[in-house]
Amino acid sequence: MKEIHGDKLRGHLETLILATLERGEAHGLEILHRLELRGCGLLKLKEGSLYPALYRLEAAGEVSAAWEEGEHGRKGARRRIYRLSAKGKRKLGRGRGEWQTFVATVGGILGAPA
Amino acid sequence: MSDSIEQELSRIVDSATRTVRASRSRKEQMREELLAHVKEVFAEEFTHTGDERAAFAATARRFGVAGEVKSELQLSIPFIERLFLISEKELLMSRNFWLSTVAAIAVGPAIILPAMAAYRDENIFQLFPFLLGSAILLAGLAMAGYGLFRHFARHA
């Protein structure tokens, strides 16, 4: 199967992040690993793009973030741990509904229902 | 990790964050988090390849083009924060600043003059339009004064 690159994920990335955080809090790289795992290695995301999406979600109150304690060998650099908020859970629910509508509509037009 | 690799990793992060218009604390936070990310990715890649140069190249590739990351980081900064961080030069060059100034100088009297006419003709003093118009006019004059003063001061 062909890989799915960043531009095709545009507009869905934030919902995908929320879905990964539903499984528990995580830092940026862990979120990427979860996306990769659940996308069976087909999702290819420029990793620098993850953080702007996380900052937007944080500004919207859909995730909360806290610095982890200690640097764990990364001299002078700590990670931030992201957690899904109640608002984020509601947005994820809406995102799933919108995705199902999108797939049903476009799939119907293409003659390739999900 | 060698010092040179560490510096190069810092450079990747700096090129994506240095020119982002955001508060200092937000930029430091972004920088620290992204640096932690690239260091961790480098460690991952180094475990696979055992070669620092190859691991560094893979880290840079995975991170993406710094210019694109910078643009996305900039878009993630709340509008209010960007507004307050606008530099004086940008403010004086801003069309919106001068349009707002002209509009305030035009709109202020347009609110005050009918109120004054009502007072002259009917002896009714309308306090609210008078105060509102005065405030808008004064704001416009202050903006014009500030803009012109700073403009000429910069070119003196």
**Cβ pairs bridging A and B (under 8 Å):** 75
Compare B99 and B152 and report the one with higher pLDDT. Answer: B99
Q: Using one digit for the tens of pLDDT, what is the confidence trace for A87-114?
A: 999 999 999 999 899 888 988 898 877 6
Band of pLDDT at residue A12, cut at 50, 70 and 90: confident
Cα distance from A102 to chain B (closest Cα, Å)? 25
- Pairing outcome for strands A63-67 and A80-84: antiparallel
Task: Please check whether residue B40 is in contact with residue A23, taking contact to mean a CB–CB distance below 8 angstroms.
Answer: no
Judge: A76–B37 Cβ closer than 8 Å, yes or no: no
Tracing tokens 């240095």 back to the chain, one arrives at: B18
Q: Give the amino acid at A40.
A: C
Q: Using one digit for the tens of pLDDT, what is the confidence trace for B98-135?
A: 889 999 999 999 999 998 898 888 888 888 998 999 99
Q: Locate the chain A residue with the closest alpha carbon to B20.
A: A52
Q: Judge whether residue B89 has pLDDT over 80.
A: no
Q: Locate the chain B residue with the closest alpha carbon to A47.
A: B63
Q: Is A42 exposed, middle or buried (0-12, 13-18, 19+ CB in 10 A)?
A: exposed
Q: Is some CB atom of chain A closer than 8 A to the CB atom of B35?
A: yes
Cα distance from B15 to chain A (closest Cα, Å)? 12
Dist CA A58 CA A68 (whole Å): 16
Torsion angle (degrees, nearest 10) of CA A104, A38, A63, B66: -100
Q: Given this model, what pLDDT does residue B125 score?
A: 82
Cα distance from A65 to chain B (closest Cα, Å)? 12
Q: Judge whether residue B88 has pLDDT over 70.
A: no
Compare A32 and B24 and report the one with higher pLDDT. Answer: A32
Q: Is A110 exposed, middle or buried (0-12, 13-18, 19+ CB in 10 A)?
A: exposed
Task: Please check whether residue B103 is in contact with residue A82, taking contact to mean a CB–CB distance below 8 angstroms.
Answer: no
Chain A contact set for B62 (CB, 8 A): 46-47
Task: Please check whether residue B10 is in contact with residue A77, taking contact to mean a CB–CB distance below 8 angstroms.
Answer: no
DSSP string over A40-77: TT-EE--GGGHHHHHHHHHHTTSEEEEEPSS-TT-TT-
Band of pLDDT at residue A77, cut at 50, 70 and 90: confident
Q: Is some CB atom of chain A closer than 8 A to the CB atom of B62?
A: yes
Among A56, A71, A80, whose Cβ lies nearest the Cβ of B76? A56
